[in-house]
């Protein structure tokens, strides 16, 4: 299993990602719900009363109301009023009307339903950014476990090979001791070295298996089925021959600038700020007086547009203005001040998060540069230890060295090789963390389940 294969599995099957997709779909559903405030409304009523064989009244009033984006409402309806004891304000017979309601101060620029719809659209983008941030964190956590698993596998392979070499050496020395060509103490020396490596191999195998089980927590199949882990799965080893650490990294300033502009966590805060800004504008409307102008065009019969010019200019109309304003505006001023404080708090959070992100990018960048140097030094050190071990091995074969010195040289070689594996896997882990610090793991196309 390679790093790219793990990333592909996570992006396709992990349930956290499926949940994030559902959250985006939920935000789309909220937009549709908010648009419902602008749906035309059909209403009607029928009310009839008879008593002592006399018709008191019979009211029939169907109506349609059409909201518009700018807070203006257009409405029209029909009326039929029959009876001997009807409301004095009602016109007997059949009438029709076409009217308009216009806010003159409060709710003219922005009202609750427009604010909710605008906020819903921004929250859709915010949910998308939060989804990207979730993917970014998820992949970083999974890759951290992946490279720990890879390191443990390579250490196990090193120790397994050391056990095989020392098993053959022990057999050879024991055979020579039985033939009187070596001292019996050399057999004990060889056996002690073998047993030490066997213990280390067993521990390395345990670490490798446990790391694999931890990695399996991130592996899922279709239909949210967990992946059944088995011992035959091993990490890909092709990275050991690529030498990525010798390649040039992008400029640090460019990485910092990109992260400060495009990190999904920062984008989520920016969208949150947009929602709060709309809320501030809505609260400002509470400081304005509520003044509404209503005008109804009236006509007899069910055709309100019949003789419309004459009716508009003469007397078939109804007009009115309503006005309302609190004297102290304490509620409005308090709500507006609270909205401004929320915006200030969010701006402070954005500054803090941006600083943390930029420092994380610098931290992992510096770590990569240091690991590059350490890998180069350790590669040279390993070659030198290996050269000393080979020389000591030749001296041992011709009888000019002792098994103690040979084992000491071998231990240094194995320690250096394990350290080299640790540095190289740590380099890849830090590289993945640098991508995470810049928020780039979260970049993933999204297809909504439904519109």
| pLDDT tens digits for range 101-114 | 999 988 888 888 99
Instruction: Identify which has the larger pLDDT, 210 or 96.
Output: 210
Looking at residue 224, its pLDDT comes to 78
Reading the block at residue 204, the tokens are 């390395």
> What percent of the chain has pLDDT above 70?
96
Looking at residue 225, its pLDDT comes to 85
Q: What pTM did the predictor assign?
A: 0.83
d(CA 165, CA 153): 18
Domains by residue range for the chain, with CATH = 3-37+107-289+331-442 (1.20.1600.10)
Looking at residue 73, its pLDDT comes to 92
Reading the block at residue 70, the tokens are 């700018």
d(CA 198, CA 169): 14
The arithmetic mean of pLDDT across residues 183-192, rounded, is 89
State phi, psi for 129 to the nearest 5 degrees: -65, -40
Whether 305 shows a pLDDT value over 80: the answer reads: no
pLDDT digits 0-9 by tens, 8-49: 888 888 888 888 888 889 999 999 999 888 899 999 999 988
Binning pLDDT at 50, 70 and 90, where does residue 253 land? very high
d(CA 148, CA 436): 17
Whether 5 shows a pLDDT value over 50: the answer reads: yes
Whether 309 shows a pLDDT value over 80: the answer reads: no
Contacts of 19 (CB under 8 A, 6+ apart): none
pLDDT digits 0-9 by tens, 58-96: 899 999 999 988 889 999 999 988 988 888 778 888 888
d(CA 385, CA 375): 15
**393-408: string of b/e by CB count within 10 Å (b at 16+)?**
eeebeeeebebeebbe
Looking at residue 444, its pLDDT comes to 47
């Amino acid at each position: 299993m390679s790093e790219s294969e793990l990333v592909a599995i996570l992006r396709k099957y992990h349930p956290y990602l499926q949940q994030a997709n559902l959250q985006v779909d939920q935000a789309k559903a909220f937009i549709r719900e908010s648009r419902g405030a602008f749906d035309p409304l059909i209403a009607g009523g029928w009310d009839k009363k008879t008593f002592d064989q006399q018709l008191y009244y019979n009211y029939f009033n169907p109506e349609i109301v059409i909201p518009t984006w700018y807070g203006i409402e257009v409405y029209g309806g029909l009326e039929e009023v029959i009876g001997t004891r009807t409301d004095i304000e009602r016109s007997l017979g059949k009438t029709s009307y076409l009217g308009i309601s216009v806010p003159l101060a409060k709710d003219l620029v922005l009202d609750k339903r427009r604010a909710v719809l605008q906020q819903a659209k921004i929250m859709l983008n915010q949910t998308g950014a939060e989804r990207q941030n979730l993917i970014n964190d998820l992949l970083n956590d999974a890759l951290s476990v992946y490279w720990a698993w890879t390191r443990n596998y390579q250490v196990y392979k090193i120790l397994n090979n050391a056990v095989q070499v020392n098993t053959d050496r022990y057999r050879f020395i024991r055979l020579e001791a039985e033939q009187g060509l070596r001292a019996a103490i050399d057999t004990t020396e060889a056996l002690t070295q073998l047993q030490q490596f066997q213990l280390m191999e067993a521990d390395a195998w345990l670490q490798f298996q446990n790391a694999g089980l931890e990695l399996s927590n991130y592996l899922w199949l279709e239909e949210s089925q967990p992946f059944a882990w088995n011992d035959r799965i091993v990490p890909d080893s092709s990275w050991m021959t690529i030498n990525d650490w010798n390649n040039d990294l992008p400029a640090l300033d460019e990485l910092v600038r990109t992260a400060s502009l495009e990190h999904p966590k920062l984008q989520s805060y920016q969208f949150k700020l947009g929602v709060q800004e709309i809320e501030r504008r809505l609260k400002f409307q509470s400081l304005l007086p509520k003044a509404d102008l209503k005008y109804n065009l009236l006509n007899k019969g069910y055709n309100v547009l019949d003789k419309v010019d004459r009716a508009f200019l003469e007397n078939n109309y109804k007009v009115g203005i309503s006005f309302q304003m609190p004297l102290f505006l304490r509620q409005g001023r308090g709500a507006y001040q609270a909205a401004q404080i929320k915006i200030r708090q969010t701006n402070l959070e954005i500054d803090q998060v941006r600083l943390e992100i930029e420092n994380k990018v610098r931290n992992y960048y510096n770590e990569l540069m240091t690991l590059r140097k350490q890998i180069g030094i350790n590669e040279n050190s390993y070659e030198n230890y290996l050269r000393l071990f080979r020389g000591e091995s030749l001296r041992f074969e011709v009888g000019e060295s002792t098994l103690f010195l040979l084992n000491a040289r071998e231990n240094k070689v194995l320690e250096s090789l394990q350290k080299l594996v640790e540095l190289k896997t740590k380099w890849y882990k830090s590289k993945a963390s640098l991508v995470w610090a810049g928020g780039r793991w979260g970049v993933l196309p999204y297809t909504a389940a439904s519109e």
